[in-house]
Amino acid sequence: MAGAPAARAGGTFRPVQPEEAGLYGLPLDEFIPARTALEKRLRKEGERERAAAVKKLPKPSVAAWAVNQASRSQPQARRDLLDASAELREVQDRLIAGDATASDLEAATTRQRAAIDALVDAAAGLLTGDGKSLGDATLARVRETFAAVASDTELADLVEAGTVDRERRPSGLGFPFAAPSPAETAPKGGSGAGKAPKGGSGAARAPAGRAQEPAKERKQREKDAKRRERELQAAREAVKSAKTEEKEAARRRKAAERDAARAARELDRAERAAEEARAAAEAAQTELDSATAAAEAAVGAREDAEAQLESFG
């Protein structure tokens, strides 16, 4: 696919040809030499635009490199992550519409977390170029990047291709969920029967005690229901806020893409102008050399003619 070696995604370049994408599967310390070699070969073969795009491909950070290696080496876990993340996005949309509950969101988040755990475990076994294992801070960034797939569909494409260049952070995820209260899971066992309260017989006070127990439980359930409703509303507001942030990021990305495209066109025009100027300079030098030779030949002819004229004198 000549002429389209890379596309912009999330403020970075996304390789779309096998050779470019393959750079992100190499050991981290081999990325720059391999990129330089590919750029030189493409220029030599006349693919100037593609070579220029290859030169701009950013070297991945250590965390991004680990994300790519784990994604490439664990295809099933990668697929599980992409599927779970798509499901989580769908649940978020349903939350906004009021068709999902906090429990639905918690279940979807749990499925995504299981897929992330498998990929982070794979990343934890990687070694850097100097033989060192990844530190906890790096693995934390790896985990955050995988979690961000649910809120960034372009990142999902990069993870699927194994061409992530920098770590990302999730947005709109991680809502708190409270565990069910005892009143929601099981009724209280003590009803007061068989115990005689102070100040009266057990037969006379037991009915009043039994009547008070359900009232307490009902009050607790109402309190818990209100709490869950507040949590659900907070989750919906957080999702809306994340959607707004995503739209703003998309707008800024498009503006950056336009600026980058304009800069690339200007650079291309400058490169063409420089080539034309070099060609013009070479042509002028050739003409100068030819004119100089002609002038020297003319001088020699004049001198010969003068000498011949003198011989007749």
pLDDT at 255: 76
pLDDT tens-digit map of 5-49: 454 444 445 566 888 999 999 999 999 999 999 999 999 999 999
Average pLDDT on 291-303 reads 87
pLDDT at 234: 67
Tell me the two tokens of residue 56: 């701009």
Percent of the chain scoring above 90 in pLDDT: 37
Return the residue matching tokens 């030499």: 33
In 3D, which of 182, 212, 183, 210 has the Cα closest to residue 195?
A: 210
Residue type, 197: P
pLDDT at 151: 87
Calpha distance 162→68 (Å, rounded): 4
pLDDT at 213: 57
Contact predicate 10/154, CB 8 Å: yes
First to last CA, the chain: 79
- Residue with the bigger pLDDT between 192 and 55: it is 55
Reported as a pLDDT band with limits 50, 70 and 90, residue 231 is low
Q: Does residue 184 have a pLDDT over 90?
A: no
Calpha distance 36→53 (Å, rounded): 12
Average pLDDT on 257-280 reads 76
CB atoms within 10 A of CB 213: 14
Tell me the two tokens of residue 144: 């955050």
Q: What is the dihedral of CA 14, 17, 22, 23, to 10 degrees?
A: -50
> In terms of C-beta distances under 8 Å and separation of at least 24 residues, what long-range contacts does 144-147 make, across chains too?
144/168, 144/169, 144/170, 145/63, 145/64, 145/67, 145/169, 146/67, 146/81, 146/115, 146/116, 146/119, 146/120, 147/112, 147/116, 147/173
Contact predicate 198/44, CB 8 Å: no
Q: Residue 231: which residues within 8 A CB-CB, separation 6 or more?
A: 102, 175, 176, 177, 178
Query: What is the enclosing helix (H) or strand (E) of 13?
Result: strand 12-15
Q: Does residue 177 have a pLDDT over 50?
A: no
Q: Does residue 50 have a pLDDT over 80?
A: yes
Contact predicate 229/212, CB 8 Å: no
pLDDT at 205: 44
Reported as a pLDDT band with limits 50, 70 and 90, residue 188 is very low
pTM above 0.75, yes or no: no
Q: Does residue 124 have a pLDDT over 70?
A: yes
Reported as a pLDDT band with limits 50, 70 and 90, residue 174 is very low
Cα separations (Å) of 269 from 5, 171, 293?
A: 19, 40, 36
pLDDT at 278: 78
Residue type, 294: A
CB atoms within 10 A of CB 81: 28
pLDDT tens-digit map of 98-122: 888 888 888 889 999 999 999 999 9
